[in-house]
Structure 1
């Protein structure tokens, strides 16, 4: 295919991806689901699961293999912009207000699902290897499958909080802060798994780990003051500042990718070290365009992910594994989050709400799964199983919240015993919205 023909195909495919994904996101919002649920469903539908099965010739014409590198490159750029924004907006300052509760909830809601995932990896090793786990189930694969069950999606959670009027309430604030800590722990373990599994740059994993630590230290100690001096102490046009920062995020992502990690880690780190305004406030002229760009480009990531999902390839045993990991993912998250909140004195209804909120995985899970796919820690039907698990647990959050509300409003029900931390009072501001979570 000539370069002109490739560009023609790519532009046509881009038009389809953008329109279908955003229409699907609009439908999801009407169904009181996060927008990314609809966009993920659209990505799966445009892959072999639906379009490739019902109209294979149309699928080949619309998405010829020659444009795959272009779509993949655009999807990676979307991830860099999106996660740069997530890192910039990640706010753990609430720890100063309710540190004990947040830390306890986050540790429980991370370690219990992590242990459950690791046990599943070890107990069902042969079946998981048959579905796409690496042979011999190395430590890196066990850690990865544990992380896959323990992640909570901060962007999706922010959308669910606003959608249900929970932003600023006690359960909403605790869940958001705990989710931020859970993601920090999850990404840290995932870094270890990828370093142990990878062979990039010809270095032993310990050598790459040392380089990662040095790079992280340089970013934390050197990049922030340098950026403040270059960009914040001068009256610069917002578009110029944004362009420099996105370039900075891409450079950071390039370094972590060269060190054998995924671009996502460099993008997150870049966002975390960007200076904030006075009092730690985020700058709207940075947040708004990051939201817009990420929202426009993320559908390409969903299409790339959807192209690797083949629901028709799941046999009976794969469906059993899907039911198992979905049920385990929900029960481990809800149970551990709720139990830890109760131990810290949070009221029964608020504790239930916190547990349910932490069960949403969504986009963050999908990003981790793609990182594992590239590292060879997951493949084939097993990748499909975990993508569907992420979709199912996210969709289940809304009806589970409705169930919690119904349990709280039953006639003759005894009042909640805790009036302190468990009250439904407003608990201060929740972090502002993040890219991709309208």
Structure 2
């Protein structure tokens, strides 16, 4: 019986959406991970490294070249919208208002894991198989180091929602630190992607982007909210196209297009709904396309050992950096450990970051697989570790508050709603 490409595409979508949901719901995994984490793991399992090795006939039957091309198109658009929203939600206004505290934490939470990650990368790069055909040693070293320093802001928001601290003062502080690091991540990525053969285009893109952003801000701000969404998406596509043409990658353009906009132009409930819709309807396809890029060419043990090394560098780097910041800023006992564990969450942003490095052939698919496994491990550790720490912290705060006769800070609402606080412009 002949199966058409359309039917194979729909079969692939059925698998992508059904299996992770059933695992997440039936096994009751809400206590340690949101659905997106299970979907990321599902994407790895459906890739050539697992399904392709276990059932090669099934894998090649469903994931034909035409089906993969169609899925990749959806994945590109999905991740562009997702990064655009992350850019809009950056809390740059609040970060600037409290720049000393925010800058101290964000800098240490970035520099220390970056340094340890680069050190781990140097160990890996002593052997062959980690540098892509289009990559230089310094690019891979800095890229892996930065991957260890990334904080996944969207996943961090989901985790803090689950733990009921998103709108607390503690949650707002964590968002400020993560927001500033997000800016640094994309700046470092632009440096890594700097192509001296196309530097004229890249400089031209930046020179044109500044006046274009000012014009876009004026036009979008003057429009009604429904028109703002449409105009914002047009602006997103144009920036992605221009950045990719300049050699910076369309994801850099997608992030910049959102970062220059202001979330106060959009209603909080609409912003949350849009992000939720993107996560639910199209991002699972991106997770699968990510899984299709995994490779075990150097052997399963070698990739797992590399992922373990990077995981240790990533987690310990964040914890050490935030602990130093906590001592400098004289935080209360327990705060630095909670904040450090939450900021080490990787998942989506690191996977997007690594995808770009792989697209540009700076890293190999084996390096990508090690980074992907590190991101999944980092993210899956977060909630089981933080939940008891947060419970202990709340108990201490409650007892202190009872003694002093004031409400505990950790459960107090922030001064501004999270959507309004996370302006990108």
Aligned 1:86-105 pairs, distance under 5 A? 86-96=86-96, 98-105=98-105
Q: Is 1:264 the counterpart of 2:259 in the alignment?
A: no
Tell me the residue number matched to 2:418.
Answer: 431
Aligned 1:348-387 pairs, distance under 5 A? 348-387=333-372
Aligned 1:132-171 pairs, distance under 5 A? 132-133=131-132, 137-171=136-170
Q: Deviation of residue 410 (structure 1)?
A: 9.9
Judge conservation of contact 2:9–2:67 (CA < 8 Å) in 1. yes
Q: Is 1:397 the counterpart of 2:390 in the alignment?
A: no
Tell me the residue number matched to 2:178.
Answer: 179
Name the stretch that deviates more: 54-63 or 20-29. 20-29
Tell me the residue number matched to 1:213.
Answer: 206
Q: Deviation of residue 388 (structure 1)?
A: 0.3
Name the stretch that deviates more: 257-266 or 324-333. 257-266
Judge conservation of contact 1:362–1:394 (CA < 8 Å) in 2. yes
Change in 2 beyond 3 A, CA 1:85/1:408: closer
Change in 2 beyond 3 A, CA 1:368/1:86: same
**CA displacement, residues 272-318 of structure 1 (integer Å, 9 cap, x when unaligned):** 233544xx664534542343134210011111110122458534443
CA-based RMSD of the aligned residues comes to 3.1
Aligned 1:257-336 pairs, distance under 5 A? 257-277=244-264, 282=267, 284-310=269-295, 314-336=299-321
Unpaired runs of 5+ in structure 1?
A: 197-202
**CA displacement, residues 364-408 of structure 1 (integer Å, 9 cap, x when unaligned):** 000001000001121132211110000001111112213534765
For 1:29 and 1:158, the matched residues in 2 are separated by 18
Tell me the residue number matched to 1:119.
Answer: 119
Judge conservation of contact 1:158–1:433 (CA < 8 Å) in 2. no
Change in 2 beyond 3 A, CA 1:390/1:290: closer
Judge conservation of contact 1:212–1:259 (CA < 8 Å) in 2. yes
For 1:136 and 1:51, the matched residues in 2 are separated by 29
For 1:70 and 1:170, the matched residues in 2 are separated by 44
For 1:76 and 1:95, the matched residues in 2 are separated by 30
Q: Is 1:204 the counterpart of 2:190 in the alignment?
A: no
Name the stretch that deviates more: 15-24 or 142-151. 15-24
For 2:350 and 2:302, the matched residues in 1 are separated by 23
For 2:48 and 2:122, the matched residues in 1 are separated by 31
Change in 2 beyond 3 A, CA 1:433/1:5: farther
TM-score by length of 1: 0.84
For 1:276 and 1:186, the matched residues in 2 are separated by 21
Q: Deviation of residue 213 (structure 1)?
A: 1.9
Q: Deviation of residue 60 (structure 1)?
A: 1.5
Q: Deviation of residue 73 (structure 1)?
A: 1.1
Judge conservation of contact 1:156–1:363 (CA < 8 Å) in 2. yes
* 1:347 aligned residue (312, 326, 332): 332
Change in 2 beyond 3 A, CA 1:132/1:380: farther
Aligned residues: 412
For 1:243 and 1:174, the matched residues in 2 are separated by 32
Change in 2 beyond 3 A, CA 1:245/1:135: closer
For 1:222 and 1:136, the matched residues in 2 are separated by 36
Judge conservation of contact 2:91–2:175 (CA < 8 Å) in 1. no
For 1:53 and 1:152, the matched residues in 2 are separated by 32
Change in 2 beyond 3 A, CA 1:393/1:19: same
For 1:316 and 1:11, the matched residues in 2 are separated by 34
Change in 2 beyond 3 A, CA 1:393/1:91: same
Tell me the residue number matched to 1:199.
Answer: none
Aligned 1:404-415 pairs, distance under 5 A? 404-405=389-390, 408=393
Unpaired runs of 5+ in structure 2?
A: none
